[in-house]
Amino acid sequence: MAQHQVNYASSAGLPIALTSVDKLVNWGRSNSLWPLTYGLACCAIEMMASGASRYDFDRMGTIFRASPRQADVMILAGTLSKKHSEFARRLYDQMTEPKWVISMGSCANTGGMFNTYATVQGVDRIIPVDIYLPGCAPRPETLQYAMMMLQKKIRRESADMKKNTKQDLTTQTGKRARLI
Amino acid sequence: MRKYVPKDNVQKKAYYTDRFHVVPRVPREKVIDTHFEATVFNLGDYVKDSYIEIGQLVVHIDASENFAVLKILKEQCGYTQCSEQSAVDYLAKDGEFELFWQMLNVNEAKRVRVVCRLKEGLAIESVEPLFKSANFAEREMFDMFGIKVNNHPFLKRILMPDDWEGHPLLKTYPLFGDEFASWYEVDKIFGKEYRDIIGPENRDPGKIDIEDTKRFSRVGYEVPFGTEYNADEEVDIAYSETALVNYNKKTSKQLDERR
């Protein structure tokens, strides 16, 4: 016995939903964004707070994964030192496509107040970034908003990742090159 | 009457010199404390100079005798902790480093600083057999100043990467890093040929790349996200007029460039 009576005769009453492949794939991708459990500095504390029960990332389908092979999003939360830059890039390379990057906080965006010899001056020098998140450190609400903006961005993209271009790691002279 | 000084070009020479400025210095007192007197007596001929600074004994020794001095301090005077050990760069002034060991006597609540001068290029004897904390401290000193430590069990860089060039706490090392430091991550990850592609570090926090339409939006002239930059399409910025002031009308006095 059917729970609901289906009126097959009327329009839009059919048990069929029409959509495009892009929308269907992006619906899946954007609603189960799994970030990498990867904290660099004090921004990671805010990232942990976003994941914990008060701000509750889980209700958005955002679940932190302990392996880069299972992760879709890399949240660079904190100061990236030059010693560690190699390993950050390796973790990014180990993530499977499709993958996105959120640069969280002033230090990750531009080097922040660490205008020194030992800090990478903006993670976009080594990793293409999708969302820049200002703040020192950004509040958990800000990180949630960044996640929602990333969802919006994914829904706008093509399902075929080859058609989506990554950010250029640009030069100051205006010469451009695309790195994946 | 005051001497006449022509005031045509006062900025040509700095007329102000701080003749009366005296660099403040921590007062040094004689060793009068009974415990510190006993400590200096125990050290004997090793002591080149001794005085008290802010309730703390400072002992100057010869660089080659640091192990013997610290051994006496530990075994006979009760200084069982070496809480800090590092160096100060006086290379430009004297051509040598000042090395110091900060010792703590927990039972007496007393502190002693052992100080010595080490010529550039010479090595110091490790005190790791006496104090395990000296292991990391001496590695840090080697990392930051390039001072070699004899008989250290594992002398290797501790803070900077192993393949780093230069010693960052030297006064001659620039704060923003030398050429090696500024390209370190690019060389390591992508290789040297990517220096041209990625470009030099931007250390100007207010820098705006006018050709970058992905990270910056243009004021007054909008282009879609990610379009190629075209210099011919550049237009002047137009402000909205108000009833009182017309910002678009150029006044008689306007600076062409920032002074």
**Residues B144, B56 share a domain:** yes
Contact A117 B177 (CB under 8 A): yes
**Residues B215, B131 share a domain:** no
Q: Please count the other Cβ atoms lying within 10 Å of the Cβ belonging to residue B44.
A: 9
Residue B117 inside a domain? The answer is: yes
Domain limit, last residue, from B82, B115, B150: B150
* CB-count exposure of residue A40 (10 Å: 0-12, 13-18, 19+): buried
Residue B134 inside a domain? The answer is: yes
Distance from CA of A10 to the nearest CA of B (A): 43
Residue B25 inside a domain? The answer is: no
Residue of chain A whose alpha carbon sits nearest to that of B184 = A82
Residue B71 belongs to domain with CATH number: 3.30.460.80
**Residues B144, B51 share a domain:** yes
List of chain B residues with pLDDT < 50: none
Contact A120 B215 (CB under 8 A): no
Q: Which residue has the tokens 């002693």?
A: B112
**Residues B142, B60 share a domain:** yes
A100-159 per-position pLDDT tens digit:
999 999 999 988 899 999 999 989 889 999 999 999 989 999 999 999 999 999 998 888
Domain limit, last residue, from B135, B150, B165: B150
Q: Which domain, by its residues, includes B241?
A: 208-245
Mean pLDDT of A166-178: 52
Residue B168 inside a domain? The answer is: no
Within 8 A of A171 by CB-CB distance, chain B residues are 196-199
**Residues B235, B143 share a domain:** no
Distance of alpha carbon A30 from alpha carbon A62, whole angstroms: 9
Residue B250 inside a domain? The answer is: no
Q: Count of domains in chain B?
A: 2
Percent of chain A exceeding pLDDT 70 equals: 83
Domain limit, last residue, from B150, B173, B189: B150
**Residues B127, B60 share a domain:** yes
Residue B174 inside a domain? The answer is: no
CB B200 within 8 A of CB B187: no
Residue B173 inside a domain? The answer is: no
pLDDT of residue A87 exceeding 70: yes
Mean pLDDT of A40-55: 94
* A86, A120, A171 ranked by CB distance to B199: nearest: A171
B140-194 per-position pLDDT tens digit:
999 999 999 999 999 999 999 999 999 999 888 888 888 999 999 999 999 998 8
**Residues B137, B68 share a domain:** yes
Residue A103: C-alpha distances to residues A78, A128, B52 (Å): 8, 10, 51
Q: Given this model, what pLDDT does residue B224 score?
A: 77
Q: Given this model, what pLDDT does residue B113 score?
A: 95
Within 8 A of B168 by CB-CB distance, chain A residues are 117-118
**Residues B138, B216 share a domain:** no
Residue B1 inside a domain? The answer is: no
pLDDT of residue A2 exceeding 60: no
* CB-count exposure of residue A65 (10 Å: 0-12, 13-18, 19+): middle
**Residues B229, B129 share a domain:** no
Helix residue spans in A52-122 (DSSP H): 82-94, 105-110
**Residues B219, B145 share a domain:** no
On average, the pLDDT of chain A sits at: 86
Within 8 A of B177 by CB-CB distance, chain A residues are 116-118
Residue of chain A whose alpha carbon sits nearest to that of B209 = A172
| Mutate: best of B159, B194, B198, partner A, most A CBs <10 A | B198
Q: Given this model, what pLDDT does residue A14 score?
A: 66
